Amino acid sequence: MRAKNPSVHGATVSAPPEDVAVGESPAPPKAGVRASAASTPAPALGALERVVLAAKLLVGLAVVVVSSSAVAYSLHRYALTTHRFAIERVEVTGGRRMTPDKVRVAAGVETGKNLFAFDTREAEEKLLKDPWVSSARVTRELPGTLRVDLTEREAFAVAILGDRPFLVTKEGEPFTELRADEPLDLPVLTGVSAQALARDRAGSVERLKTGADLVRQYERLSTSRAHPAQEVALGASGDAVLTVGKSGITLELGRPPYARKLAMAERVIGELARKGRAPGIVFLDNDAHPERVVVRMR
């Protein structure tokens, strides 16, 4: 018996897969899912490939860093060697005694030297060695200027320490010895020894400051214009004697405070001046009876 032809009206019908039972149709594919090789996930990178990739990244980063460093070094070397940034001038602010020429010498400035090669910190340290300079700041201004900002000390009085005269600020700080050629007319502070200054600098400076404060209080009085302060003798017990005027009027002030005592001295000197007279010594050191003033005439 011949087998039946499987074609139906000329169409070929494929046999169902073996795992499908006779009489059942195969399940349709799920929506959105394509049966293709593209849906197969890519294999993960191996350990060697990851190492190679990381090495490439590091090499690239190193090239960038080296290139940047080379450029920075070239710029730095150019800035330190080019004549375009040569020092042409020095501008000084805050200096009265320290003229621009003195600043150049003290700071070691060489005209024509490269601005960036000049050590500004070292220049500041050199300037601070001058006793008149209390602060110094050196900065660069392109293309060829050094700016020096100074703060100088002001001499307020002369302190006799031992047998040597030293200039003193209004804060009582001795900062340099008075030279013979210094054209300064300043009041003199006595009573503090060089040994005391070396043994107790803080205490000695405080005593000198007391003397300087006394002079400043006296200079607020109108009497000080006719009789300027000449000397303050500082006693060991804290008392003070102020000598004023070219004739040498002595004001025995005793211990502070001094404002009221100085006002009383001004009245006494003024009243005697209207009579054409001048006192020799005015005693204002009676702490038990501060209202009493004793005058010893010349």
Mean pLDDT of 40-53: 65
Mean pLDDT of 186-199: 96
Q: Is residue 49 part of a domain?
A: no
Q: Is residue 25 part of a domain?
A: no
- What pLDDT sits at residue 109? 94
Q: Is residue 16 part of a domain?
A: no
Q: Each residue of 254-269: pLDDT tens digit?
A: 999 999 999 999 999 9
- Residues 170, 255, single domain; the answer is yes
- Pair of tokens at residue 87: 């020092």
- Residues 267, 196, single domain; the answer is yes
Question: Is the pLDDT confidence value at 80 over 80?
Answer: no
- Residues 216, 289, single domain; the answer is yes
Q: Is residue 7 part of a domain?
A: no
- What pLDDT sits at residue 69? 52
Q: Which residue has the higher pLDDT, 58 or 225?
A: 225
CATH of the domain at 134: 3.10.20.310
Average pLDDT along the chain = 83
Considering its fold, how many domains does the chain have in total?
2
- Residues 194, 136, single domain; the answer is no
- Whose tokens are 């050191």? That residue is 285
Q: Each residue of 120-152: pLDDT tens digit?
A: 999 999 999 999 999 999 999 988 999 999 999
Q: Tell me the residue range of the domain where 89 lies.
A: 83-152
- Residues 167, 268, single domain; the answer is yes
- Residues 135, 180, single domain; the answer is no
- What pLDDT sits at residue 47? 75
- Residues 180, 140, single domain; the answer is no
- What pLDDT sits at residue 17? 53
Q: Which residue has the higher pLDDT, 285 or 28?
A: 285
CATH of the domain at 254: 3.40.50.11690
CB burial class (10 A; 0-12, 13-18, 19+) of residue 288? exposed
Give me the helix-helix angle, 120-127 and 100-107, nearest 10°: 110
- What pLDDT sits at residue 11? 43
β-pairing, 249-254 with 279-283? parallel
Of 107, 125, 152, the residue at which a domain comes to its end is 152
CA 145 to chain centre: 21
CA distance linking residue 200 with residue 290, whole number of Å: 32
Q: Is residue 293 part of a domain?
A: yes
Q: Which residue has the higher pLDDT, 246 or 184?
A: 246
- What pLDDT sits at residue 43? 54
Give bridge partners of residue 174 from the DSSP assignment. Answer: 168
Q: Where are the alpha helices (DSSP H) in the chain?
A: 47-81, 100-107, 120-127, 194-199, 201-219, 223-226, 259-274
Specify the DSSP class assigned to residue 4: P
Give bridge partners of residue 139 from the DSSP assignment. Answer: 147
- What pLDDT sits at residue 162? 86
CA 187 to chain centre: 33
Q: Is residue 37 part of a domain?
A: no
- Pair of tokens at residue 217: 């209080």
Of 152, 182, 205, the residue at which a domain comes to its end is 152
CA distance linking residue 232 with residue 159, whole number of Å: 10
- Residues 112, 177, single domain; the answer is no
- Pair of tokens at residue 231: 């000397």
- pTM assigned to the model: 0.70
- Residues 114, 184, single domain; the answer is no
- Residues 194, 130, single domain; the answer is no
Q: Is residue 168 part of a domain?
A: yes
